[in-house]
Amino acid sequence: MRNFISARVAQTPPSGIRKFFDIAATMKDVISLGIGEPDFVTPAPILEAGVASLKRGETAYTSNSGTLELRTALSRHLNRLYGVSYQADDEILITVGVSEALYLAMTAVIDPGDEVIIPEPCFVSYAPEVSFAGGVPVTVPAYVEDQFQVTAKTIEAAVTDRTKAILLGYPNNPTGAVMTREIMTEITAVAEEHDLLIISDEIYDQLVYGIEHVCVPTLPGMRDRTILLGGFSKDYAMTGWRIGYACANPDLLAAMRKVHQYTIMSAPTTAQAAAVAALEQGDVHVQQMRQEYDRRRRLIVDGFNTLGLDCFEPRGAFYAFPSVAKSGLSSDAFAWTLLEEEEVAVVPGEAFGESGSGYVRAAYAQSYEKIEEALNRIESFMRRHG
């Protein structure tokens, strides 16, 4: 029998994150700093809104674009936070998480052979989604010396006559880096000069610590040149609800909605009702979760640095990205050995691109007490390997 698997799928390796989750799940006393998921339960007003929607019998499809109530609430929310205005009727699309929004963006804009510039380290889905859409991912490195902020110079050096878009993810997964307004403005100037689209994944937009989040479409000339991707999973602890969104000018949005229509139909109805409550009643809960993440952030970063695992200060999301050089192990060997010997799960940096080599990702979306215990176990590990 011939091989029926497409070349681009066959050539894409499995996620470097998933294998650690699968193994860690079989270990009784493991402390997982691997998974990028809030340990908080979805706040009560959001839960109650979802339950109330079900009790009202709202179990049918919604509009392909999502409920008008949610799109209107999201329009007000983005305008309130960032001063960017999107029309609810034709510039906002509700999706099944930001993952679907990313898929739609790639499928809607990429023709075979189009290049998309992707700074690394980055979320594991970025390059595969470009490839699945028939495009060519062109990865460029960001370095700890620059606080893991990719530079405009690095991006411009990668531009060719096949380049169509730049895919950015800040606050960053896996590093926790947050882009300054100055550097982001320099990057958007490159996009404008070379007539490129920016696809901006801002899923962690409200999880920043002592620094502002720069919403890309608010920058000069960027609103109609940007596809803004976001969602509710991280800010509102709603990962299992699978609810995200995309915002763009009407032409781009219509193309994405066309793919969405044929692929998904509509995002989950119950989750959309819950998302309205998140936007209207969630601010105090986001603030409380952010304060707790910040407390954990300071604990884990100080802990790694004390143990000789040099860690720059992450200013967003809920990840630390320490160097493991002083252990004498590669990041892959460090992660596997730590899991086997101390039952602490972290993710090797190579899972997020070549420039992640020599680092591991540790999520502080765990309780303060579990992070303390994980650091104690890592201290024991470093006595043997440091």
Percentage above 70 pLDDT, the chain: 98
Q: What are the CA-CA distances from residue 238 to residues 79, 277, 318, 375 (Å)?
A: 22, 12, 15, 27
Identify any residues that bridge with 93 across adjacent strands, giving them in sequence order.
246
The total domain count for the chain is: 2
pLDDT surpasses 80 at 217: yes
Query: Does residue 196 sit within a domain?
Result: yes
58 and 173 together in one domain: yes
pLDDT at 13: 79
Residue pLDDT, tens place only, 6-25: 888 888 877 766 766 676 67
Query: Does residue 1 sit within a domain?
Result: no
Residue pLDDT, tens place only, 300-313: 999 999 999 999 99
Residue pLDDT, tens place only, 107-160: 999 999 999 999 999 999 999 999 999 999 999 999 999 999 999 999 999 999
Residues in the chain: 386
Of 231, 266, 281, the position where a domain reaches its end is: 281
Q: pTM for the full model? A: 0.95
Residue pLDDT, tens place only, 268-288: 999 999 999 999 999 999 999
How crowded is residue 298: how many other Cβ atoms within 10 Å of its Cβ?
A: 13
Residue pLDDT, tens place only, 376-386: 999 999 999 87
Q: For 122, left (φ over 0), alpha (ψ -120 to 50), or beta? A: beta
56 and 79 together in one domain: yes
66 and 213 together in one domain: yes
Cα 224 from Cα 221, distance rounded (Å): 7
304 and 267 together in one domain: no
87 and 164 together in one domain: yes
State the DSSP string of 23-69. HHTT-TT-EE------SSPPPHHHHHHHHHHHHTT--S---TT--HH
Mean pLDDT, rounded, for 350-377: 96
Q: Are 142 and 176 in contact (CB under 8 A)?
A: no
pLDDT at 1: 87
Helix residue ranges, H only, the chain: 7-10, 18-24, 44-55, 68-82, 97-109, 126-132, 152-157, 181-193, 250-263, 269-281, 283-306, 331-342, 368-385
- CA dihedral 304→324→321→100, nearest 10 degrees, is -140
Cα 221 from Cα 188, distance rounded (Å): 8
pLDDT surpasses 70 at 250: yes
Q: Band of the pLDDT at 5, cuts 50, 70, 90?
A: confident
259 and 333 together in one domain: no
Domain hosting residue 358, numbered range: 7-42+284-385
Mean pLDDT, rounded, for 317-333: 96
pLDDT at 16: 67
Of 378, 385, 386, 359, nearest in space to 177 by CA? 359
Mean pLDDT, rounded, for 331-337: 94
255 and 153 together in one domain: yes
Residue pLDDT, tens place only, 49-78: 999 999 999 999 999 999 999 999 999 999
Say whether the peptide bond before residue 250 is cis (omega within 30 degrees of 0).
no
Q: Supply the CATH number for residue 117's domain.
A: 3.40.640.10
Mean pLDDT, rounded, for 99-111: 98
159 and 289 together in one domain: no
Cα 126 from Cα 101, distance rounded (Å): 12
pLDDT at 222: 97
Q: Supply the CATH number for residue 28's domain.
A: 3.90.1150.10
Cα 331 from Cα 144, distance rounded (Å): 16
Mean pLDDT, rounded, for 337-362: 94
pLDDT at 20: 66
